[in-house]
Amino acid sequence: MRYNQKNLLGLEELSSGEIELILDTADNFKEVSERAIKKVPALRGITIANLFYEPSTRTKMSFELAEKRLSADIVNFSKATSSVKKGESLRDTAENIEAMKVDIVVMRHGSSGAHRFLSEFLDASIVNAGDGQHEHPTQALLDMLTLRQRWGTLKGKKVTIIGDIMHSRVARSNIWGLTRMGAEVTVCGPPTMMPPEVENMGDGGVKIEYDLRKAVADADAINILRIQLERQKNKLFPSLREYFAVFGVSSEILKDAKNDCIVMHPGPMNRGVEISQRVADGEQAVILPQVTNGVAVRMAVLFLIAGGRSGEAKIEKK
């Protein structure tokens, strides 16, 4: 089966079959990272530009590793040392990079919709590595891959997303992806951090719960979000200490959850704010496996967008 989309702008526009294709391909690619020589020739001859207009550690490094393991040629753009500092527009920057015969642009940008805007001008494929408060599709895909590896299916499973829903592109992509794959999603957080009409997001909508203990009670997995103070124009809660007291996930809170409830976090974590030290390092946490799966998911996305078929992802060792 071939991926028929030119870009990956968000999960809202993908079908359940396309999401499943990416997850299946990522499962095949995961083995490459466990080889002695972590490299396959799948994207030899393909040039990828990484445009990160916002700071990033995990996502940027994960994309770079994925590209190198697929043998792509890569070029990295840094806003701090670019012509953006001289007033160059996003469109001009991207079109000049494309003129150097780049095939795929991986971009993170602080403005929601920046990727869709660029897609109207570029012939190169665009992969969304996070746009403002809109979507972070590859993070949601690696979250779903991690859950599917544990359960075998997402259908009928209950996932609770906790924290700063308002400013979270991770939450939005997870809501679209999980509900499309048949999971039930509950969101929990302060009313001041709950976006308008959040209950209508996703396929069939989501449930809102403001009581943290009730929100975790029947969840098969909880996904804890970082408090994004840098995106808050006004103070949305009294103090970090009070936030942790009401919405922080601690060992005490986990006592109200199922014994096999999975704990997730997209990182970076604010320990002692949205998650306690013991929960972050506890047996129920799959936070580091999420990071590992991120490389496989990004390999799958880049491979499929470049025209690969899912059955070709099992590439023989060199």
What is the distance between the alpha carbons of residues 132 and 117, in angstroms, rounded to a whole number?
13
Statement: residue 247 has pLDDT above 60: yes
Q: pLDDT exceeding 70 applies to what percent of the chain?
A: 95
Comparing 309 with 288, which gets the higher pLDDT? Answer: 288
Report yes or no: 32 and 12 within 8 Å, Cβ to Cβ.
no
Quote the pLDDT of residue 182.
97
Average pLDDT over residues 204-227: 96
Q: pLDDT class for 260, splitting at 50, 70, 90?
A: very high
Quote the pLDDT of residue 61.
97
Statement: residue 147 has pLDDT above 50: yes
Quote the pLDDT of residue 229.
67
Give the pTM: 0.94
Quote the pLDDT of residue 90.
92
Report yes or no: 275 and 248 within 8 Å, Cβ to Cβ.
yes
Quote the pLDDT of residue 76.
93
Residue 284 burial by Cβ neighbours in a 10 Å radius (0-12, 13-18, 19+): middle
Statement: residue 24 has pLDDT above 50: yes
Statement: residue 318 has pLDDT above 50: no
What is the distance between the alpha carbons of residues 250 and 158, in angstroms, rounded to a whole number?
20
